[in-house]
A and B are shown apart, each in its own frame.
Chain A
Amino acid sequence: MSRFLRLVARDLRLALRQGSDATIAVMFFVLCVVLFPFGVGPEPNILARIAAGVIWVAALLASLLSLERLFQTDYEDGSLELLSLSSLPLEAAVLAKTLAHWLVTGVPLIVAAPLLAVLLNMDAEGFGILVLTLTLGTPILSLIGAIGAALTLGARRGGVLLSLLILPLYIPVLIFGAGAIDAAINGLTPRPHLLLLAGILAAALPLAPWASAAALRQAVE
């Protein structure tokens, strides 16, 4: 377990010293959402109606931004070879790196989301559920994204390929994430949506590191 935490700590330290990855994702998220009032007009009713969907779509795109770098630098400087030769199983290493990625890029999105909800005039009933769905959903985005990042490792223009591979897989998360908020605002129970999101997370937690590790083993051959 301590090896796992060492790797998480190393990735956090790398991210904090480089600085850019963490701030870029959250800045992109904020800007992306802020663009909508300009595009669809400042009418409060329209904005309130689309708020949940807009915030969720922006969160998907923001989490995609930094995914390409998830394994890229380790692959290029040879660290990935050493990681796959270390006594920490590669699946655990993937999970550690994904956790670090989520802490750096996912958590700031969760923090920023309520502010953007105010900006878009979202109903106050939706705020708690918005934070809850993002808390359940952003780890799924990082986990599924890790598979794509591992598969596109070493490919030219891997970032574009990654988006094409991963965005379709994000659709269920988007549907249940935005659906839960809409349900709460319209006075229905968001419980089924939340349970489905939690189910996806429970499935992705073991499966995604396993699939990513298999792809990484191919990449280091």
Chain B
Amino acid sequence: MPVFAGSELTCLRGDRLVFTGLEFRIAPGGALVLLGPNGSGKSSLLRVMAGLLKPLRGTLGWDGVPVSDDPDAHRARVQYVGHLDAVKPVLTAVENLAFWAALAGAADPAANARAALDRLGVPHIAGVPGRYLSAGQKRRLNLARLLAAPAALWLLDEPTVALDRAAIALFEGLIAEHRAQGGMVVLSTHTDIATPGGEELHLDDFTPYADEDDAEEAGEGEYEEEGTEP
């Protein structure tokens, strides 16, 4: 059974340590909800998990094998939904979605895209150019990517922003279904998304220094320590 885990993760953004000594572990069917105030590193952690951002220290492992050994394989099993919807204004919803499905290797990307839009409850937007979609519709289109291009690990950065209540309920159902099939979900949120049996990770537990002045001094110490490492 594949397990996605991180140990001793430290993330540096600019000259600020966002989190340090972070550990997590997700088993198949598991969900991890990232909680914490603004700036506590939820997005950074998701980007580290996706491989967009390199952690300063620490390792990510899939089934005990470091992800950095085979980044290509890791990319193939990750589907990342960030703050930006990646919707092209001149392409129709189905063209937008079909492109990502095709890039992920789908055999019939257009059919995948239409089926995914159906599941998200927006089959009527299929032929609508991206520029005429509302924020909520763009978000649903972006989430439809999870279904059109299936992957084992979903990394979701505040996925329910701009969604109405009905869509959130629908999306909770999709997450439950994905987990029932052995998929893993990591999501950050400020609203409640029901993830029964999911674990919570409070990122402020890993914020290095609460006090601003201490943070600066200690931050410098961190650099020196880093410098002495081979």
Which of A's residues lie within 8 Å of B, judged by CB? 2-3, 6-7, 10, 13-14, 17-18, 73, 76-79, 81-89, 220-221
Q: Tell me which of B52, B103, B105 contacts A81 (CB under 8 A).
A: B52
Q: How far is the CB of A214 from chain B (nearest CB, A)?
A: 13
In the complex, chain A residues whose CB is within 8 Å of the CB of B87: 77
Interface contact A13-B102, CB-CB below 8 Å: no
A96 to B103, CA, bound (A): 13
Q: Is B84 an interface residue (CB 8 A)?
A: yes
A-B contact pairs, 18 of them (CB 8 A): A3-B103, A13-B91, A13-B95, A17-B90, A73-B88, A77-B86, A77-B88, A79-B88, A81-B80, A81-B84, A81-B86, A82-B86, A83-B103, A86-B103, A86-B104, A87-B75, A87-B76, A221-B52
**Which residue of chain B is the closest to A88 with respect to CB atoms?**
B103
A72 to chain B, nearest CB (A): 13
Q: What is the bound-complex CA distance between A169 and B63, given in angstroms? A: 47
Residues from chain A with Cβ under 8 Å of B91 in the complex: 10, 13-14, 17
B48-86 vs A, Cβ < 8 Å mask (1 yes, 0 no): 001111100000000000000000100110101011111
A81 / chain B contacts, CB cutoff of 8 Å: 52, 80, 82, 84, 86
Kindly identify which residue among A7, A14, A76, A78 contacts B103, using a CB–CB cutoff of 8 Å. Answer: A7
B100 beta carbon closer than 8 Å to chain A:
yes
Please state if B75 and A82 are interface contacts (CB–CB under 8 Å): no
A-B pair count, CB < 8 Å, reads 65
Instruction: Point out residues on B near A: beta carbons under 8 Å.
Output: 47, 50-54, 72, 75-76, 78, 80, 82-88, 90-91, 95, 99-100, 102-105
A25 to B147, CA, bound (A): 39
| B15 CB, min distance to chain A CBs, angstroms | 15
List the 3 closest pairs (A to B, CB-CB), nearest first: A78-B84, A17-B90, A78-B86
Q: Is the interface of A mostly helix, strand, loop or mixed?
A: helix
Please determine whether B80 and A6 come into contact, CB atoms closer than 8 angstroms.
no
Contacting residue for B105 out of A14, A87, A220, CB 8 A: A87
| From A82, A85, A89, contact of B51 by CB (8 A) | A85
Distance (Å) between the CB of A51 and the closest chain B CB?
38
Alpha-carbon separation in the docked complex, A18 to B91 (Å): 10
B72:A87 contact, CB within 8 angstroms: yes
Q: Find the B residue at minimum CB distance from A19.
A: B90
B158 to chain A, nearest CB (A): 13
The answer on a CB contact under 8 Å between B102 and A77 is no
Besides A13-B95, A14-B88, A17-B90, 7 new A-B residue pairs in contact (Cβ under 8 A), listed by A number: A77-B87, A78-B84, A82-B80, A84-B52, A85-B75, A86-B104, A87-B76
Residue of B nearest to A220 (CB): B52
Query: In the complex, what distance in Å separates the CA atom of A86 from the CA atom of B105?
Result: 10
Residues of B within 8 A of A18 (CB): 90
The residue in chain A whose Cβ has the minimal distance to the Cβ of B74 is: A85
Contacts of A79 in B (CB 8 A): 86, 88
**Bound-state Cα–Cα, A221 to B50, Å:** 11
